[in-house]
Structure 1
Amino acid sequence: IYLEDTSPLLGCYGNDLVQTPNIDSLARKGILFTHVFMPAPVCSPCRSSLITGMMATTLGVHNHHSSRTEASAIYLPDSVLTIPEIFNTQGYFTFNNGKDDYNFSYDREKLYDQAYLQHPLYGKKGDPIDLAILRDKAPFFGQIQLAGGKEIFSSSFGENNTHPVDRSVIQLPPYLPEHPAIIEEYANHLDAIQITDRKVGEIMKGLADHELLENTVIFFFSDHGMRLTRHKQFLYDGGLHVPLIVADFRSGQKLKPGTINDQLISGLDLGITALSLAGITPPGYMEGQDIFNTKIPPRTHVISTRDRCDFTIDRIRSVRSKDFKYIRNFMTDRPYSQLTYMDVDGVEFVKVMKALHAAQKLDSVQVKFFRKDRPAEELYDLDEDPFEIRNLASDPNYADVRTEMSAILDQWIQDSGDKGQFPENEEGLKLMLGIWGKNALNPEYDRIRRTYPDLEGSLWSLKSAGWVKPL
């Protein structure tokens, strides 16, 4: 059960403002993981990583909405199979009820045994299958996508929001101002979680009614955190920290229910763990690890990356341990608050944040996000500073920690061949300039503008194109 844009603000994670009885029940029947962090804080690079078990930066599919045209297509090496392809080769029926959003070109029929639709910008998505047919399709490996935090975009959000959370008791993190629009955005996320909980209950009932639970393991998680300042698209915990529950309904289940696990988990580990639970040996090229394999040492850190998101070009890397977060900003001349799709779409909380900054109504913590440049390095003591506010990178008392985590990142860049260190190909940038036009302000677009003077904004209509069946 695969959510979008959802932070771990659930009842089973200690949030008493929301009612999530179905997810809480799943947690009681499974294992709840408290320290799960995704390889990227935006949909397509994260999903590209999870479906391959490899960092998107290793494969060169790290830029958001890559491979959406034939000219900009990026292909996986022939030796690399995706998680569903591996299940398929082992006789599993595979499906994905919802969006793929992978940044590589692929023949979907090799991944999933279902019809699908496609969109010129948002990629491919499975035409949902009815759970009832799975009784004749065992064994199966499936993904059921839920909107999660994106429930707020649904035309029926208000109608479905039957028990709105009490806005008056919401406590925002200190980097967000107590403004009605910000409180409403945060509250809407909690309301979306409650709507999602009901849909999780419907899925669980459907599986039970069709007698599909008896030999099934369920993974419940999100692709990244909620949309909000310093959350989605950034490498603070607000963008990377997600819920994860793994519930084993097999007879003679091997996973102890009702337990809480605080080991460090990367999103890369999910597919490898699913393969291992099915008795399938994961390929050696995958970069995750089986979270239930007690013969290998637990993770000491998780690497995460941020590169181009829509038209906004950036490069950020992070190393997170249990105790510290190290962030390296490669493009220090670009403010955290540089123009993004949310500015273009007129998202209310973004407008309010920028207006408050212009009116000098943000405090010393909140205003940091609007500084004109960025430090090359950030370091946070997560025990003392869980909101990642006090940058300790230049504090001599933490010099050894900074040196150690910086070395880990340097080694990872070298070992993985992090392709984010190289410029994006022209075709990928052309698509972004064609769609987003004058909003594509980064200097990387200057040459594209000169070379293709009629391109800017000419592809804007792709954003609102419809989903169609492939020819």
Structure 2
Amino acid sequence: MRALRTRSSLRGGFFAGLAIVLLALAEGAAADDAPPHVLFLLTEDHGSHLGFVGTAGVETPHMDRLAARGVYFERAYVNDPVCSPSKANLYTGTYAHTNGLVANTRDFFVPAEKLSPAQRFEPIYRRVRIRDHLPTLVEILDAAGYFTAASGKLHVAPNEKFPYDMMFRENTPARALAVIEAAAAAKKPWFFLANLSAPHRPFRNSEEVAIGVDPAAVELPAFLPDTPTIRRDFAEYLDSVEVADRQVGEILGAVAEAGVLENTLVLLMGDHGPAYHRGKMSLYPFGLHVPLAFAGPGVAEGRRTRELVSGVDVLPTLLELLGLPVPPTVQGRSAAPLVRGEAGATGAEAVFAEIIHGGQSRDDGMQERSVFDGRWKLIYRENADRPRDVNADLKFWALELPDGRVQPWHNRVYREIVARAAAFPDEHRMLAEIDPQSFGVTPPTFELYDTEADPGELENLADLPDHAGTLTRLKRTLAGWLRDTADPFTTREALIRDPAAG
């Protein structure tokens, strides 16, 4: 009970401090010094694929203009390539093993007071949730006097920690204008989180409808075999990126139509990589590397940076840009100096990521952790002989649900690689290591990659004597992070076993 009181007082102390800061800001502000509005455009299952960064075959004019107008982070990474945990990283500035939202939770897209008893006591919703003492971005902005709204989905828990003033499924210009009008009526600045479902699977089926991306024009990631079927699938993914781009353009157009774009801080980000076996739900670059752009008041114009940032940095960055205090619970670091274009500003020395497998029902599933220092990448596993979570959209064309309904996922890639394993043995091995329980394999405890020579992370160097020093250094860095963040799911045994890494 002592720990619970300490956590509660920590949270209460932060909000009391926030109130003092807001009072001081209000007393010192000029009459026309209005706080900026905030538009957070969060695309789903969207890797670092834009026309702006040179992705072959795709056209994203609206995202490109937004990125060119402000600051674009070329090396932005999420800390957990799974939908709910990644969102919780963004909304709390903390890692999943700290905040408690360790796996996908239920998406009960209603205000907390409208949850049914069945929803409120649903086992996964009760188990997989953000811990009470951690303030969320929505709670902070609500306390700071913002009118808050969210579209598309929630997919985080508990709902009490996301007290939005408006919630709606549709992402349309009319809905965006409704948020702006409601905030104006309340005489408040607004925060609008636009969750864009594209480019989440299922993609548009190019055998049934015409799409805007030519399969012959795409450049496949290195872990995928080059076959017509896989080119079709990847073209459909990029077509879905274009769908998201059109939605971004419509929402930005509505904000401009309302005459408030110049006073709106805009943030564009993907929640993790696309639904391919070495993308979403994996610690490889296709799962962790995402687009990240800031534009608007206080943001430098026309800048690109290769400094490292990650999901836990988003909350402290946004709060600093808004002039609001950062909770002491935050584990990320503000990238606001980079966003403002300050001379000498730097990013993180390393970025960390994790996947807690089986987290919806157990604490002792396979554990995956990684560290990336800008060149070298280490992936570490514990309980590697236990099942690995594999989302249905990474595997199936369609899946029959327990109630008899059929959920289409339109994944052509998994079965194509399995069917052509003899022709593409390396690609099949990489698939098998992502779904080890289906193929009777055990993924390695350590993987080490030199991303300058091997950006796709295909050649594991962990067992090579020439790289023993680098391996030890990254083991030490990863062990320190696990210790400092009190990761309760790992023992660090294999890391500590190396005397130099302990």
2:456 alignment counterpart? 387
- 1:31: which partner in 2? 71
Q: Contact conserved, 1:60 with 1:420, CA < 8 A, in 2?
A: no
Q: Tell me the alpha carbon deviations over residues 419-464 of structure 1, each in whole angstroms, 9 at most, x when there is no partner.
A: 3339xxxxxxxxxxxxxxxxxxxxxxxxxxxxxxxxxxxxxxxxxx
Residue 378 of structure 1: aligned partner: 447
Q: Deviations over 1:239-282 (max 9, x none)?
A: 0000011001x3xxx32211101100011111211111110011
3-state SS of the aligned residue for 1:268?
helix
Q: 1:78 to 1:131 in 2, by over 3 A?
A: closer
| Identity rate, percent | 29
Secondary structure (helix, strand or coil) at the match of 1:45 reads helix
Q: State the match for 1:266 in structure 2.
A: 310
Q: 1:354: how far off?
A: 2.0
Q: How does 1:407-418 map to 2 (within 5 A)?
A: 407-418=476-487
For the pair 1:88 / 2:150, whether they are aligned, the reply is no
Counterpart of 1:247 (choices 295, 316, 323) is: 295
Match of 1:306 among 355, 358, 372: 355
Give the aligned CA root-mean-square deviation in angstroms. 2.8
Identify which range, 403-412 or 70-79, moves more after superposition. 70-79
String of CA shifts for 1:142-182, please: whole Å, max 9, x gaps: 211112212644699966x6x52111232322321122222
- Deviation string, structure 1 residues 8-46 (Cα, Å, up to 9, x no partner): 111101124111111111112111110000011110111
Q: Could you say which residue in structure 1 is the equivalent of 2:3?
A: none
Contact residue 10 and residue 20 of structure 1 kept, 8 A: yes
**What is the identity, as a one-letter code, of the residue corresponding to 2:199?**
G
Q: Distance in 2 between matches of 1:40 and 1:99?
A: 18
Q: 2:372 maps to which residue?
A: 320
**1:185-196 aligned within 5 A:** 185-196=233-244
Distance in 2 separating the partners of 1:193 and 1:115: 24
Aligned 8 A contact 1:98 1:128 in 2: no
Aligned to 2:191: 141
CA contact (8 A) 2:318 2:336 kept: no
Query: One-letter code of the match for 2:240?
Result: A
- Map residues 323-402 of structure 1 onto 2, 5 A cutoff: 323-334=375-386, 340-342=391-393, 343=395, 345=398, 347-357=411-421, 360-364=422-426, 366-370=428-432, 372-402=441-471
1:212 aligns with 2:260: yes
Partners of 1:151 and 1:356 in 2: CA distance: 23
Q: 1:380 to 1:69 in 2, by over 3 A?
A: farther
Question: Contact between 1:41 and 1:225, CA under 8 Å: does it hold in 2?
Answer: yes
CA contact (8 A) 1:48 1:101 kept: no
Equivalent pairs, count: 402
How far apart, CA to CA, are the structure 2 residues paired with 1:220 and 1:116?
A: 19
Aligned letter for 1:353? Answer: I
3-state SS in 1 of match to 2:307: strand
Partner SS for 2:484: helix
Which stretches in structure 1 are left out of the alignment for 5+ residues?
Answer: 118-126, 423-471
Give secondary structure in 2 for the equivalent of 1:7: coil
C-alpha contact (below 8 Å) 1:7/1:222 kept by paired residues: yes
**Cα gap change, 1:106 to 1:244, in 2 (>3 Å):** same
The one-letter amino acid of 1:301's match is: A
Query: What is the Cα deviation at residue 370 of structure 1?
Result: 2.2
Change (3 A) 1:148 1:340: closer
For each residue in 1:348-368, what CA deviation from the matched residue of structure 2 results, as whole angstroms up to 9, or x when unmatched?
A: 3222222222xx221335434
The alignment partner of 1:385 has SS state of coil
| 2:251 counterpart (203, 217, 229) | 203
8 A Cα contact 1:328 1:376, kept in partner = yes
The alignment's TM-score, normalised by the length of structure 2, stands at 0.74
Name the counterpart of 2:282: 234
**Structure 1 residue 306: deviation in Å?**
0.9
8 Å CA contact retained: 1:96, 1:128 = no
Aligned partners of 1:141, 1:105: CA distance in 2, in Å? 20
User: In the aligned structure 1, how far is the partner of 2:379 from the partner of 2:260?
Assistant: 43
| CA distance in structure 1 between the aligned counterparts of 2:207 and 2:292, rounded to whole angstroms | 25
One-letter amino acid of the structure 1 residue matched with residue 474 of structure 2: M
Matching residue of 1:437: none
Query: Does the CA contact (< 8 Å) of 1:315 and 1:420 recur in 2?
Result: yes
Q: Within 2, Cα distance between the matches of 1:269 and 1:365?
A: 34
Q: Secondary structure at the match of 2:274?
A: coil
Q: Does residue 1:287 correspond to 2:328, yes or no?
A: no
CA contact (8 A) 2:270 2:291 kept: yes
2:95 to 48, 51, 55: 55
CA distance in 2, matches of 1:153, 1:173: 18
SS of the counterpart of 2:81?
coil
1:463 counterpart residue number? none
